[in-house]
């Protein structure tokens, strides 16, 4: 079955019959697919409950920022984290990491990734614990995402710059950083990525 991107988007957002007459063949097929997607999303949440806390955090952050789960994900309860669903997102993108990968062993690559992840965790969690603590994860090969309850643009900017400076000091990697706020977690992540791609030398775009 080949569906348009718009119909696929509606399946994901639980509106399966918007583009077909109720009771029609296409509507029935889409409704079935919608149910299968819902089951898969629920299964993904519960199937990960046996993971170690850090791995569980990595999985749920990744799913939150790409929009395939939300603040009701059961894994958040296992992590003892409470989210509203509109938390801000900070993105850190390592510059020239591909060159580093080509020149080093897999062990060295994984070790530096883990080191940077721990650096970020240590810095963003210094004043927040329990259900209020920030979530941090490696997203892709060279991007790190922070889901935080901070809603002040100035504070977010300073957090991003401070972490980027420490990463450069400790590892030598320069970092592009961006943040998104005011929307859903997935939308904030998208805004953070756009900002990071547009920035040079940690300059931040300011909403007018």
CA-based end-to-end distance of the chain: 45
What is the predicted pLDDT for the residue at 124? 84
What is the predicted pLDDT for the residue at 17? 47
Q: Is the pLDDT of residue 65 over 80?
A: yes
Phi, psi for 161 (deg, rounded to 5): -65, -40
Q: In whole angstroms, what is the distance from residue 131 CA to residue 122 CA?
A: 16
Q: In whole angstroms, what is the distance from residue 16 CA to residue 125 CA?
A: 40
3-state secondary structure of 185: helix
If you write DSSP's letter for every residue of 104-137 in order, what string do you get?
A: S-HHHHHHHHHHHHHHHHHHHTTT--GGGPPEEE
What is the predicted pLDDT for the residue at 66? 87
What is the average per-residue pLDDT within 76-95?
Answer: 90
Q: In whole angstroms, what is the distance from residue 184 CA to residue 70 CA?
A: 9
b/e for 67-105, b at 16 or more Cβ within 10 A? ebbbeebebbebbebebeeebbbbbbbbeebeebbeeee
Q: In whole angstroms, what is the distance from residue 191 CA to residue 208 CA?
A: 15
Provide the 8-state DSSP code for 57: H
User: What global pTM score does this model have?
Assistant: 0.70
What pLDDT digit, counting tens, does each position of 10-38 carry?
A: 555 545 445 455 555 666 666 666 666 65
What pLDDT digit, counting tens, does each position of 151-208 carry?
A: 999 999 999 999 999 999 999 898 999 999 999 999 999 999 999 888 654 444 444 4
Q: Is the pLDDT of residue 144 over 80?
A: yes
% of the chain exceeding 90 in pLDDT: 32
């Amino acid at each position: 079955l080949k569906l348009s991107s718009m119909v696929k988007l509606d399946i994901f957002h639980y509106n399966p019959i918007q583009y077909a007459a109720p009771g029609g063949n296409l509507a029935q097929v889409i409704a079935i697919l919608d149910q299968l997607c819902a089951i898969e999303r629920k299964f993904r949440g519960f199937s990960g409950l046996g993971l170690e806390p850090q791995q569980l955090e990595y999985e749920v952050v990744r799913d939150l920022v790409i929009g395939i789960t939300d603040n009701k994900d059961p894994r958040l309860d296992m992590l003892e984290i409470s989210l509203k669903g509109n938390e801000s997102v900070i993105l850190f993108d390592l510059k020239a990491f591909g060159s580093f990968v080509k020149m080093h062993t897999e062990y060295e690559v994984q070790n530096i990734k883990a080191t940077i992840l721990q650096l970020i965790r240590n810095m963003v969690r210094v004043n927040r614990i329990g259900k209020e603590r920030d979530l941090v994860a490696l997203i892709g090969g060279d991007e790190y995402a922070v889901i935080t309850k901070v809603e002040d643009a100035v504070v977010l900017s300073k957090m991003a710059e401070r972490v980027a400076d420490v990463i450069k000091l400790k590892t030598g990697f320069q970092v592009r950083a961006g943040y998104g706020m005011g929307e859903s977690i997935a939308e904030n992540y998208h805004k953070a990525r756009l900002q990071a791609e547009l920035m040079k030398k940690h300059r931040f775009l300011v909403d007018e």
